[in-house]
Structure 1
Amino acid sequence: MTLTREALAELVDGLAGLPYGGEAVDQRLHALQAGWFAAQHGGDDELVLAATLHDIGRARAVREEWPGLPHELSGAEFARRHLGERAAWIIAQHVPAKRYLVATDAEYHDHLSPASVASLKVQGGPMTAEEVTEFASHPNAEEAVLVRRWDDDAKDPHGPALATADVLAAYDRFLASR
């Protein structure tokens, strides 16, 4: 079943007002800022959608469909159904990508917000050397790292953001390319 444009717009707009773990932005602005970073980077439509929807597992409809799963995994299930395996893997790995970056980039930890530092502890802390090797060997690892970095930067209440219309246009182009 194809996700309609209207349903996608409702999902994204439905994130408005949802708190984002003590950050200065709500879930909707966070999503649209992450998508903006992907678009500015020149990401293809699937990457822009993955960046925008990386936390869609926090949307009520998605939580209800996949109850009990962490947001990155319910978001990945949503993406697998409506976008494809590449977007699903990137969304599923945006949390492990934080663990990867903490283990491989000495300056990365200092860039994390206090809320992200707190969640890192719950998420398992830095990856082990074996986990780093496994993560880095995936063909979409670099894209998951990019989404992670955009996730970290998408917390500015006055920062640039995609319009929902831009997300829908990316979705239309993505569907047309399949």
Structure 2
Amino acid sequence: MPSHSIIERIDKLYRLHGQRLYSGLQAEAVTALEHALQCAQLAEWAHADDGLVAAALLHDIGHLLAGGHTPDGEDDRHEMLACAWLSQAFDADVIEPIRLHVQAKRYLCTRDAGYHDSLSPASRHTLVLQGGPMSEAQAQAFEALPHAHAAVKLRRWDDLAKVPGRPTPSLDYYLVVLARLVQDEVLGAGWSAADGLSTL
């Protein structure tokens, strides 16, 4: 088990809360941990670099930080919560695809005529909360962002990583990938996230 404190906290989050199924209109057929592992596996199969594999694993960790109980009529902004926490230890190659993966869904709805119909019912529901398809001007602005291409890749894997029972490598396997990427941390012993998970 890697010794970095944020790696330990990520491990604890997934082990404590990763077996949750999303509820209500946001329900998917897999748990949060299964989804994360499948997404990371798809990134590896596509020969993504470690930063993008890490982003694939961690893209929805904001749901766990938020407690996983978002009312069906609200956008939990999970990508922003994740980035605020992870940016203390990871660089932009990990953070920016996570920050943009929700916008990438909106972008693909504008650029790919068949994309919307391929979304799960839960993703269609959250799309409405997240602003719906982008306008042409918004899509062009998104395309100009340095990590837009990586975010679109992540979004595609996100949509495919919802297969019940699919075998994947373990969480420990991907924690080793994360440990290779951790920068000098600013997380002190008294650190606590805005969500109140002070024991992590």
TM-score, normalised by the number of residues in structure 1 = 0.87
Which ranges in structure 1 are unaligned for 5 or more consecutive residues? none
d(CA) in 2 for partners of 1:41, 1:15: 28
**Cα RMSD over matched residues?**
1.9
Determine which structure has more spread, i.e. the larger CA radius of gyration: 2
Matched, 1:168 2:175: yes
Q: Could you tell me which residue of structure 1 aligns to residue 129 of structure 2?
A: 122
For residue 83 of structure 2, give the secondary structure of its aligned residue in structure 1. Answer: helix
Distance apart, 1:4 and its partner CA: 4.2
Matched, 1:77 2:80: no
d(CA) in 1 for partners of 2:179, 2:98: 20
**Is the 8 Å Cα contact of residues 36 and 160 (structure 1) preserved in structure 2?**
no
Distance apart, 1:132 and its partner CA: 0.4
Matched, 1:159 2:162: no
TM-score, normalised by the number of residues in structure 2 = 0.78
d(CA) in 2 for partners of 1:5, 1:93: 22
Matches within 5 A, 1:1-150: 3-20=5-22, 21-59=26-64, 62-63=65-66, 70-150=77-157
Distance apart, 1:115 and its partner CA: 1.1
CA displacement 1:115-148 (0-9 Å, x = unmatched): 1111111111110111101111112111100111
| Change over 3 Å in CA distance of 1:119–1:175 after alignment to 2 | closer
| Change over 3 Å in CA distance of 1:41–1:144 after alignment to 2 | same
CA displacement 1:13-66 (0-9 Å, x = unmatched): 23322222211111111111111111111111111111100001011xx338xx
- Higher helix fraction (1 or 2): 1
Identity %: 38
Distance apart, 1:153 and its partner CA: 0.6
| Change over 3 Å in CA distance of 1:50–1:3 after alignment to 2 | farther
CA displacement 1:75-123 (0-9 Å, x = unmatched): 1112211212232211111111000000000111121011111111111
Runs of 4+ in 1 over 4 A off after TM superposition: none
| Change over 3 Å in CA distance of 1:175–1:164 after alignment to 2 | same
d(CA) in 2 for partners of 1:168, 1:32: 11
